[in-house]
Structure 1
């Protein structure tokens, strides 16, 4: 049974997922502040080929959305996968803006 670890790599501006201590994928973002709004633009989600088909992208995107919400960020889903994930999980729709 493999272990899964999710991390927010602030220095690299991305959320990472590790399976058995090997980087399996990530979601990178850019941040900005507009007035009193904090905005996180999730620009790209990547799952390395050898880890595809295991739900890696969904796990890292869910982690990124939950962490962004906890930190008070609105989301811009530039990445098509993040946009699709939010559409399929409407509990995150309030983050988009």
Structure 2
């Protein structure tokens, strides 16, 4: 079972530990929004829903922070299209 998604503010990325590996989503900050620019899942973890779990957790953290999200990463764009319940977060 993966650990919770965390915001690594020093590296400007959301991270999810899975075993000895880390999936991450890089971001840039604006005053009102977080721009997710790239997601990466280690090759050995691909196809297991890890990236979706990462994005879901990142969106939960963004929501808790009272911010909006700008999807500058194709995976995040696709995730948001598949999850209309998160449409309120889109800047």
TM score, norm. by length of structure 2: 0.92
Of 37, 49, 62, 2:43 maps to 49
Q: How many residues matched?
A: 90
Q: CA deviation at 1:23?
A: 2.7
Q: More strand per residue: 1 or 2? A: 1
Of 37, 50, 73, 2:67 maps to 73
Q: Secondary structure at the match of 2:52?
A: helix
- Gapped regions of structure 2 (runs ≥ 5): none
Q: CA deviation at 1:8?
A: 1.4
1:25 matched to 2:23: yes
Aligned pairs for 1:82-93 (under 5 A) are 82-93=76-87
- After superposition, the CA RMSD in angstroms is 1.0
- Gapped regions of structure 1 (runs ≥ 5): none
Contact 1:75 1:95 in 2 (8 A): yes
1:39 matched to 2:39: no
TM score, norm. by length of structure 1: 0.87
